[in-house]
Chain A
């Protein structure tokens, strides 16, 4: 099992409880979509899984490939194969994109006992992935996300994912703010990474992304709990009925 979340409760530093008992199992090679309205806890779930500061887990457990995820620091989780594509990628002036990504890949390789890549070897690895995501070479030479357009930032996230080849990728609203062409490019990048031993969790507000990346399972997160799970047809139903109905009629939804 790739990821097993059991009864996860988490709150903010100010005491507000955001996750109120999330249960979710993600098998190897599966693509899961987590949908929900604003404020339902989607981004908090992504942040807690990636190990961001500012959240306190008060109850429950998360097991990643048989290990307690919370026993690992954020950077160790990443080296173990957990990847979070940020909803708002961070600009880092003065840090070169290529230098940054090579440091990340080499940190992972060291962790696995593999030799580090020099600049030339690294360039060969990334060239072909740049093409896949329609990213210009010069983007590598710029400071991380500085002066990137919204679409470039999102493509850069998926590009990093393609280079780091995670086992578990969590994409937090990667579709937000993208036009249809950029969305296609991003979807192509994600679909290119689908393998039997890699799992993907797509967090999204809209069904649109799921027209391009077909999920195996769809979950509805509402008020800090998963209130409904189903196949990809659930996304279409959500679009038709809206989120409101699920919270109000849990019994009906559960038997659907």
Chain B
């Protein structure tokens, strides 16, 4: 089906227009309308150009030359057991973008965890309210996602409900093609939860993931993301979070696998006294690329932001961090601090870091710091002088460098899981 459009279509968007199948069967009409509207938007926007500030560090040429369209999901696939978080209170598995049953251990009353398809019927208001509106020019793939998504997950927690055990969502991809998933996490007033989302797979695929996070007053969410995609995979993720009064959002991202990985988080600090932590790290080797892009927008007074992002690049890899903190004119007494620290191993790896503060209020405390360096030779000699072989000593220093943000995670089972996966990744990283 090819739509007739009354504006110029970007050539690289054409294959996606031509392949668009329209509505999924049995879908409500409002959704079909939104899909078409989003597709038109993507046709208008096309792929982001390298001149676009938000995308300047990522090379999307291969994807642009060789489009990945929706593929045929496989039914016979099992995700490796090592991806599972021991001690999770509930686990939901998505294979090739489709929810594949849940292992749920007594979730308390007031917790709804299920597929996006199911939520469209059972949680219609939430899904519609969390729809992100018209995608801005910086977010063309959000529009493509809105047009193409087939499934995803929704976690909806009623006010006052506290989840003691972490929830894990495993996104596993095994097909050749594009996987567009759309997800919503909503925490009602005063509720609390920890969630780990693991992204992994095999083969050449493009994952385009969109997550809406909505936190009510005094709600507390820790959302950890572990990206260990296949070596040829493209992973583009956009998180759009709104944080209510005195609510706390802790977003953590550990990017340790995937050919081209981009993790973008945009946080709207919408309630007074809201707190936000964005911590994380990327590790790239070979010819991998990874970007962490964050924007925290303080719209009201008394907000607090803490960011610590670390990066390690080896081989011919390229990593980048772009972090923007905005403090609006009336958002007085905001306290924001951002730190980007990076380590380059070898002569050919590259890391870019671009911290940015945009401050319009006059009574604020904001700072940022950024560094890119090499392994500390003095520390290396100290370890070797105790008999630790050179390769092992280097490994210990890199791991020590990366542990800091991970150790900020409060849940012990989650912290251990992330450290274990990180250690395994580092064992394969070239010096």
A binding-site residues for B, Cβ under 8 Å: 50-53, 73-75, 78-79, 83-84, 86, 89-95, 100-101, 103-104, 107-108, 111, 143-144, 160, 164
Contact = CB atoms under 8 A, between A and B. Distances in A.
Given A84-B385, A86-B382, A90-B379, A75 B390 contact: yes
Contacts of A103: 388, 392, 396
B390 A73 contact: yes
Given A75-B387, A104-B387, 9 more contacts: A75-B388, A78-B384, A90-B378, A90-B382, A94-B400, A95-B396, A104-B383, A107-B386, A107-B387
Interface residues of B, number: 23
A95 B385 contact: no
A46 B400 CA distance: 28
Nearest to B384: A75
A234 B348 CA distance: 56
Contacts of B377: 53
A-B pairs with the 3 shortest C-beta distances?
A94-B400, A78-B387, A104-B386
A76 to B, nearest CB: 8
A86 B386 CA distance: 11
B400 A74 contact: no
Contacts of A53: 377, 381
Contacts of B404: 93-94
Most B-side CB within 10 Å, residue of A52, A89, A160? A52
Contacts of B390: 73, 75
Interface of B: 377-379, 381-390, 392-393, 396-397, 399-404
Contacts of A93: 400-401, 404
A12 B170 CA distance: 55
A92 B400 contact: yes
Contacts of A74: 381, 384-385
24 contacts: A51-B385, A75-B384, A75-B387, A75-B389, A75-B393, A78-B386, A78-B388, A83-B386, A84-B385, A86-B385, A89-B382, A92-B379, A92-B397, A92-B400, A94-B403, A95-B396, A95-B399, A100-B383, A100-B396, A103-B388, A104-B388, A107-B387, A144-B382, A164-B387
Contacts of A83: 385-386
Contacts of B392: 103, 107
Nearest to A94: B400
A195 to B, nearest CB: 20
A107 B392 CA distance: 10
Most A-side CB within 10 Å, residue of B384, B387, B389, B393? B387
A164 B386 contact: yes
Contacts of B399: 94-95
Contacts of B387: 75, 78-79, 104, 107-108, 111, 164
A70 B402 CA distance: 34
A78 B389 CA distance: 10
B388 A107 contact: yes
Nearest to A160: B386
A100 B389 CA distance: 12
B397 to A, nearest CB: 7
A240 B404 CA distance: 52
Contacts of A51: 384-385
Nearest to B402: A94
A174 to B, nearest CB: 14
Most A-side CB within 10 Å, residue of B377, B383, B384, B385? B385
Most B-side CB within 10 Å, residue of A73, A79, A103? A103
Nearest to B398: A94
A50 B385 contact: yes
A164 B388 CA distance: 12
Contact of A52 (B381, B397, B401): B381
A1 B392 CA distance: 32
A144 B396 CA distance: 12
Most B-side CB within 10 Å, residue of A50, A95, A160, A164? A95
B384 A143 contact: no
B193 to A, nearest CB: 28
Given A73-B390, A75-B390, A103-B396, A94 B401 contact: yes
Contacts of A111: 387
A89 B381 CA distance: 11
A188 B30 CA distance: 81
Contacts of B401: 93-94
Contacts of A86: 382, 385
Contacts of A78: 384-388
B388 A95 contact: no
Contact of B389 (A90, A107, A164): A107
B115 to A, nearest CB: 39
Contacts of B393: 75
Contacts of A94: 399-404
A50 B385 CA distance: 7
A101 B403 CA distance: 18
A50 B381 CA distance: 9
A101 B382 CA distance: 12
Nearest to A111: B387
A92 B385 CA distance: 14
A95 B385 CA distance: 16
A33 to B, nearest CB: 21
Contacts of A100: 383, 386, 388, 396
B189 to A, nearest CB: 37
A90 to B, nearest CB: 4
